[in-house]
Amino acid sequence: MTVASAPGKVYLFGEHAVVYGEPAVPCAIERRATVRATKRDDERIRVQANDLSINGFSVEYTEGATEESAEFDVPHPLVEAAVGYVDGAIEQVRDVLDASVGFTVTIESDIPLGAGLGSSAAVVVAAIDAATREVGIELSPEEIADRAYQVEYDVQDGQASRADTFCSAMGGAVRVEGDDCQQIGDTPRLPFVIGYDGGAGDTGELVAGVRSVRETYGFADETVSSIGDLVRTGEAALLDGDLQELGRLMNFNHGLLSALGVSSRSLDSMVWATREAGAMGAKLTGAGGGGCIVALDPSPASGTALQYTPGCESTFRAELAHEGVRVEQP
């Protein structure tokens, strides 16, 4: 058995626009998905999820045929997507080996499923690393990121970007623009506060919605371009350690995402609660539609405000994860 873990992420800036080649700056956070991979004597794949913000499920299958036993407290399509991500990860391992091989895969995660914190990317990255190491192959984080992106691209019907998987594999703050992915060094301490509404947006549906709006209205295309310009300004503020400017730009970014139709009442309520509590800035993170917001606030005020905000199910602090994918002790 080989064990690997990979971090989740928040978007400082740039979600949705990154799909159209604009830059984005995601940051890895110390919320991790841990995957245990054990090579089997047959070619079957067994997936056991002990905690993906659901009661747990197990699936055993071959050649895409699945048999499930589960209790779900998230929408069933999210479970199907989770299996699809693991299936894709194993296919990447088979591609590396140029041979069919079976695995028993156990997933544990403290990243809410479908909440905009990069749960799928973390699972895929950790699964590829654990399974390849289990068969005696060690891939570089860059190759793991590339292979994980191919999995997300396929599962999300060609609407994924490299941002989530690169950030999870590499750790820290990163900049992604198309196929150009770079780590950002010397970033300041970022006092992230996360609010979670207990929901989950459908990434594919939300991305498709933005695509439709962008194709229908010219000003929506300009909104996407404006997010790209905002990211470039924000990257400079990040390198300068100007947290006040980062906060102002986060507020602006949330407004642009709301204009594209990917926010929700619960997300807006949490964003405004943290701003009114004194946060330097706050925005939704990820695809939207439900899930999480991220605020910049070194004080406890934002967390306290979120605890009393209708629609907020939980809140927590999240430190920047400087280390990406890594091997863990069994």
Catalytic residues: 164
From CA 144, how far away is CA 151, in angstroms rounded? Answer: 11
Residue of 269, 277, 265, 272 lying closest to 303 (CA atoms) = 277
